[in-house]
Structure 1
């Protein structure tokens, strides 16, 4: 039986860098909405001697995620899932951002946890932006709907964004969706613990990736608050991601890990 690591959004950036590291002892399945766009990533992984394949998946679609999980289970034992697929503020409207980032995380955790067992790990990629909004801007009271009524949950999440001016809807949807990811990962850690599944989230700061470059102008404003005054590298985050899924980190679950060059702590100290 092959030990399989599924990486959503694994065709570029942090996900692809993680595939290179995890591929040393896992069969890698990377997913994206367009499988043709993943081919160059697969070619590069195979050139490094990594067993890998690409699979088309839209994480906001439950059935699409189900097909991905079924394929992974056919290949072998699903050892780890690194859920790094997501949309930034410049990549879509508020509704789509919520569907991919928030609903996508629900779908991935729900579907894969049903096929995983003892000694496995689900890692959800969040963002430091989740820490940037005041508590009153976060619709936390609606987060529980994610377990009972997904359609109503997304509606409430999008409604929360509408409290802001229209030109800010996408830029508000992103941090709210990522705050939910952190909350949801912690809830899942408690729910899946008896099955032996660990669930962790990681919140990268400004990282030099294709997505990061889209937000670079905004990110540059924050660099001065960091202890390490530069953007992070995809390989640095990838090392953290693959460390988290490692079985030697068997006591690590139910927490969010910031990998932001000290941005959040720097901003907090500036407020004091």
Structure 2
């Protein structure tokens, strides 16, 4: 086997994942590291899982850095990205995975819940992208984790969440135009129900969701991470401005 054939697809790449300590985010961090990338990621309140993830990656021969930062705090998020870029010597891949879910009827939905939903699910994507592209060269990748609920919200109480994820569709298109001449691609990944601690496949709501899908099962975090890795890799260089569903047919 030649050396070229055995080189990981993301060798020598530096990635930053906002919201990377658990669930889908942790799976993305692990996959990018397994594919050869050096990965920095943020966590909010639980340093132990974050440091455990770093230890796992380092034990496998990779490099990782956990940085505490709330994605709703624009200054903290910008600083985290700057620290990562300065520590590792640049930035090639940004994954915007941080997200919050607040559900409730429109009649009494709290404005503070609306403001935090927009701050984390939308504004942080813009803030992180604005900061990250300062360090990116041609071939850079910006990947946001949206939701299939941007396309379909089949139950009550999800208006604010659906709005926030639909906003990423337009933001992705606009950013793709802004950054295309610099050779940076921007894409939005839209998962359906995925088996995580926050939304387990064995949860009370799971059977209802499965009934709405073409494939009657929850997705695995590794399946989402594999799609992110593809979009981050060299074969996806002609994909930009796209919102791509990985939802088991939830929106079909």
Q: Give the TM interval when normalised to the shorter protein.
A: 0.7 to 0.9
Partner residue, 2:19:
9
Matches within 5 A, 1:222-233: 222-233=209-220
1:22 to 32, 35, 42: 32
2:54 to 31, 42, 55: 42
Q: How much has 1:45 moved relative to structure 2?
A: 2.1
Point out where structure 1 has 5 or more consecutive residues left out of the alignment.
135-167, 266-272
Partner residue, 1:125:
145
Q: How much has 1:43 moved relative to structure 2?
A: 2.0
* RMSD between aligned residues: 2.5
Point out where structure 2 has 5 or more consecutive residues left out of the alignment.
1-10, 105-111
Q: Would you say the 8 A contact 1:202–1:259 is kept in 2? A: yes
CA offset digits 1:196-249 (Å, max 9, x no partner) = 110000000000012323995445323123221111000011000110111221
Provide runs of 4+ in structure 1 moved above 6 Å. Answer: none
Paired positions, count: 232
Are residues 1:247 and 2:211 paired? no
Per residue, is there more helix in 1 or in 2?
A: 1
Q: How much has 1:59 moved relative to structure 2?
A: 1.8
Q: Secondary structure at the residue paired with 2:251?
A: helix
Distance 1:189 1:9 in 2: 22
TM-score normalised according to structure 2 size: 0.84
1:78 to 91, 105, 121: 91
Q: Secondary structure at the residue paired with 1:182?
A: helix
Residues 257/201 of structure 1: CA separation in 2 closer, same or farther (3 Å cut): same
Residues 215/124 of structure 1: CA separation in 2 closer, same or farther (3 Å cut): farther
Partner residue, 1:53:
65
